[in-house]
Structure 1
Amino acid sequence: MPISRRALAAAVTALVLPLSACGSGGGGGGSTDASGKVEGDITFQTWNLRANFRDYFDGLIGDFEKKYPGTHVKWVDQPAEGYADKISADAAGGTLPDVVNVSPDLVAPLAKAGLAMDLDKAAGKYKGEYLPGAWASHQVPGMSGTYAFPWYLNTGPMFYNKALFKKAGLDPEQPPKTYDQLFTDAMRMARTSGGKVATLANIPTIEDFGRYGASLMDKDGTGFTFNDAKGVELLTKYKELYDAKGLDAQALNATPESAGKEFLTQAVAMNPGSALDLDNFKKQAPSLYKNIGITDQITNTGHVNMYVMGVMVNSRTKHTPAAVAFAHYVTDAEHQMSFAKKVAIFPSTAGSLDDPYFTEEDGTDETRVRIAAAKSLKNAVNYTPVLFSDQMKTALRNEVGKALQGKQSPKAALDNAVTACDRLLKQQG
């Protein structure tokens, strides 16, 4: 998959596999015994990585084959567009590769169809090598087991405009950390600017409800629960903020690009971003750049949101020891670290984020953001439920928009969103 924070944040089209063609559900249809000799021919599929990282993967595969002389790894790379459909077609046709690059929402239907190997059984000895939140990211509600090795992570710190904070009488060195602090500061920002400066440019997403402390889904994975008291409380506060013009007027239709533009023009005081954004500020908005602040994502739980990619093992592989060994090899600490130094991503392996590469300043903007993000990732979690599809995100967004405009109460909006999402969940099978 294209490696960027926004690409990782974007959900892939929900996947509905024809279970009759794939085998029975329940997780894993083949052997989970990976203790045998590592040998045989396996196929490894990535997601739009060959163009930029061919040398890296050629080297990695070559080293693996030298370590295990009886193995041969065939690497195939699929384009980003239509990747979910490609996996669905391969799953239905029995041609799914042995080792597959997946995201949590892609692995869920494969696990339900019995095509994703349970790594708690096949590779549980490696669990301690990974950050707990990363290992848990490929678990599926209603099923026991873990269905992919965590691979690379990403997250984004929050940027804030110190000059706008100071002008509003706020301490520019003490940005909000919790939602209560955020709403207090945002209301003051709106009041002192006469409604001309908003603090945020985006309406709340499922990740916001998670970071606020709302329950998102029941443990069995049979229904969504973000319409609980915490969820209603969050949306009520956003409604108050919207009415006070502390939420940007364009927020209902905002995209990451449009929200970024509002921050760039200093109409908005806070916005998530990346090192690429910093470089853009430096070139296009020097006055903003000299007043830029970097802080963690807003959260009440103490855990920021992470975006995660994984490497799944096909439960139908004929070479379980080789497939498991290679999936682990791709995602072990050494190889994740080498990959992270080639592109702006972060390793999911325990201890890797303590490397000087992620902790020591060198005066560059890229390093400033990398250090801030790495620090927050150590105990981050993937808030987006693995069963939460694009259609569900749209349903939530539509109902939240109605609540902010006063067309329905926050409670009714979230009740309607949960009903719509539960209906879509049943259609997933």
Structure 2
Amino acid sequence: MPTSRRTFAAVAVAALLMPITACGSGGDGGGSADASGKVEGEITFQTWNLRANFKDYFEDVIAAFEEKYPDTHVKWVDQPAEGYADKISADAAGGTLPDVVNVSPDLVAPLAKAGLALDLDKAAAKYEKEYLPGAWASHQVPGMEGTYAFPWYLNTGPLFYNKSLFEKAGLDPNKPPKTYGELFDQALQMAEKTDGKVATLANVPTIEDFGRYGVPLMNKEGTAFTFNDAQGVELLAKYKKLYDAKALDPQALTATPESSGKKFLTGAVAMNPGSALDLANFKKQAPSLYKNIGITDQITSTGHVNMYVMGVMVNAQTKRTPAAVAFAHFVTDSARQMSFAQRVAIFPSTAGSLDKPYFTQEDGTDETRVRVAAAKSLKSAVNYTPVLFSEQMKTALRNEVAKALQGKESPKEALDNAVNACNRLLQQQG
């Protein structure tokens, strides 16, 4: 898994899965099967670009499972990051989907609609209490009843800012913005004081930004997107003002997390979202920035930060349902998640895990400060990206946002067009 992304799990929400609702057994909803019975037989477990860095970890997990259940055998396959969603789509269409699959919420939605994702609310409801409520809910699909994957690891992160740049712009380096109003005001001041040479932000607003701003993204039935309301238009209008003042980086229209990170490293941008993973990069690649790094909370109007989440899905068509459910739960239980979290900067989705000393006690380092703050915020965090929001929809929104920032359309026109495009794509999903 590429850790150059600004969060460990960000690659998950950037994936595209072609509609497969015509495939599988029963295209009218996720599958359910009896998970009781003896845990036995061979199952296949598929992960998403994890073998290179975590081969020993997963081999140990599999060995422990097979020791607990001697009549089982787990075959582990790992797929590369590139093309992962296409691989799942092809396997789903061809009837070769593995028994247990590493997924993100947007990947599980079409599988659930196709009847290929096991409904855990029916097959494994006894385990729900072991996970954070928000994490368990993250693999639910609007318009459908059920939960279609065990929650696995989570991630979120703070906003990093360059104290030196704040000070040069006449801003208090010890008082970073806490609200959107403060953020936009300070960004305009930064641009004015530096004659447009230093932008505060490097990315255009995405669907998660609209969510954090308090914009209702979708109706409760999951049949239509709604982010073109007055609040959504207000946010885009504010970004347009930033763009015109060069408070939003001029290259934001084509920015990637990697390019934005480089801008922050070189001092061309004053703030950038990130995770605990980034601190080591700052220390190694930009020591002067590291000495001046400021760390503050994500800005949100809802009181809930955004989280990224990974899951482990059970194939509803598996011939080894008891073994597949038992293994998916085993991989994501508290002991395994804590062990994984201590190897890499991710966070467990299991209830109570974030209360352990590893996530609550600081030792004076920035690394533990970020970890403790992130763990605290994750208890009530939300995955703002709708599970039905595909990569095509993200592209449609990004294109319309670009037109608004360039003045080719008004913010209202742009969001109306984006919502219409996304709703058409939603209907095509079935």
Scaled to the shorter chain, the TM-score interval is over 0.9
Deviation per CA, 1:58-106: give whole Å up to 9, x if none.
Answer: 2111211222233222222222222222212221222212111111111
Q: Residue in 1 aligned with 2:24?
A: 22
Give the match for residue 100 of structure 2.
Answer: 99
**Pairing 1:332-343 to 2, within 5 Å after superposition:** 332-343=333-344
- Tell me, yes or no, if the aligned pair for 1:133 and 1:381 is still in contact at 8 Å: yes
Offset of 1:380 from its aligned partner?
1.0
What is the CA distance between 1:114 and its match in structure 2? Answer: 0.4
Query: Are the counterparts in 1 of residues 163 and 293 from structure 2 also a CA contact under 8 Å?
Result: yes
Contact 1:104 1:386 in 2 (8 A): yes
Q: What letter matches 1:13 in structure 2? A: L
Please say if residues 30 and 316 of structure 1, whose CA atoms lie closer than 8 Å, have aligned partners that are also in contact: no
Secondary structure of the residue aligned to 2:313 is strand
CA deviation after TM superposition for structure 1 residue 198, in Å = 1.8
Paired letter, 2:358: Y
In the alignment, is the contact (CA less than 8 A) between 1:5 and 1:154 conserved in 2? no
Provide the secondary structure at the position in 2 that maps to 1:22: coil
TM-score by length of 1: 0.94
How many Å separate the matches in 2 of 1:257 and 1:50? 23
TM-superposed deviation, 1:384: 0.7
Alignment of 1:19-418 (within 5 A): 19=22, 21-31=23-33, 33-418=34-419
- Give 1:165 deviation, angstroms: 2.2
Q: Indicate the SS of the match to 1:311.
A: strand
In the superposition, relative to structure 1, how do residues 213 and 286 fare at CA in structure 2: closer, same or farther (>3 Å)?
Answer: same
Q: Partner letter of residue 403 of structure 2? A: K
Name the SS of the counterpart of 2:186 in structure 1.
helix
Amino acid at match of 2:49: N
Structure 1 residues 165 and 17, CA gap change in structure 2 (3 angstroms): same
User: Is this contact kept in 2: 1:170–1:185, CA < 8 A?
Assistant: yes
CA drift at 1:189? 2.2
The 1-side partners of 2:285 and 2:94 are apart by 50
One-letter amino acid of the counterpart of residue 239, structure 1: K
* CA distance in structure 1 between the aligned counterparts of 2:385 and 2:200, rounded to whole angstroms: 24
Contact 2:30 2:111 in 1 (8 A): no
Letter in 2 for 1:196: K
CA deviations on 1:254-281 (whole Å, 9 max, x unpaired) are 2222222222222221111234433333
Q: How far apart in 2 are the matches of 1:341 and 1:283?
A: 21
Aligned mates of 1:103, 1:286 — CA distance in 2: 35
- Bigger drift between 149-158 and 187-196 goes to 187-196
Q: Deviations over 1:274-313 (max 9, x none)?
A: 3443333334433322211111111111111111110001
Structure 1 counterpart of 2:321, one-letter code: T
Is contact 1:117-1:315 (8 Å) kept? yes
For the aligned residue pairs, the C-alpha RMSD in angstroms reads 1.9
Counterpart of 2:304 in 1: which secondary structure?
A: coil
| Percent of matched pairs sharing the same residue | 80
User: Is the 2:8–2:346 Cα contact (8 Å) retained in structure 1?
Assistant: no
| Aligned counterparts of 1:84 and 1:397: Cα–Cα separation in 2 | 21
1:192 to partner: Cα distance: 3.1
Render the CA deviation track for 1:98-125: whole Å, top value 9, x for unaligned. 1111111111111000010111111122
* CA displacement 1:228-263 (0-9 Å, x = unmatched): 111111001111122222212221222222222222
Q: Is the 8 A contact 2:101 2:315 kept in 1?
A: yes
Q: Is the 8 A contact 1:130 1:349 kept in 2?
A: yes
Contact 2:242-2:248 within 8 A present in 1 as well:
yes
Q: For residue 25 of structure 1, what is the amino acid of its counterpart?
A: G
Report deviation, 1:193: 3.1
Instruction: Please identify, of 85-94 and 140-149, the stretch whose mean Cα deviation from structure 2 is larger.
Output: 85-94
C-alpha separation in 1, matches of 2:179 and 2:422: 28
Deviation at 1:140, TM superposition (A): 0.8
Amino acid in structure 2 at the alignment position of 1:387: L
Contact 1:235 1:410 in 2 (8 A): yes
Distance, in Å, in 2 between the alignment partners of 1:70 and 1:320 is: 14
The alpha carbon displacement at 1:362 in A equals: 3.2
Indicate how the Cα distance of structure 1 residues 339 and 282 shifts in structure 2: closer, same or farther if over 3 A, else same.
Answer: closer
Q: Pick which of 193-202 and 225-234 moved more.
A: 193-202
Aligned residues between the structures:
427
Which stretch has the larger CA shift, 241-250 or 161-170?
161-170
8 Å contact kept, 1:333–1:347: yes
The question of 1:13 aligning with 2:36 is answered no
Maintained 8 Å contact 1:18/1:92: no
Partner of 2:428: 427
Question: What per-residue deviation string (whole Å, max 9, x for no partner) do you get for residues 189-233 of structure 1?
Answer: 223333332211111111100000001112222221110111111
What amino acid maps onto 1:367 in structure 2?
T
Question: 1:425–1:171: structure 2 CA closer, same or farther, 3 Å change rule?
Answer: same
SS at match of 1:57: helix
Structure 1: gaps (5+ residues) = none
Deviations 1:369-390 (A, max 9, x none): 3233222222111111111122
Q: Distance in 2 between matches of 1:80 and 1:162?
A: 35
Q: TM-score, normalised by structure 2?
A: 0.94
| 1:359-418 Cα distance to aligned partner (Å, 9 max, x none) | 223344433332332222221111111111222111111111111111111000000111
Compared with structure 1, are the counterparts of its residues 27 and 18 closer, same or farther at alpha carbon in structure 2 (3 Å cutoff)? closer
Distance 1:276 1:146 in 2: 30
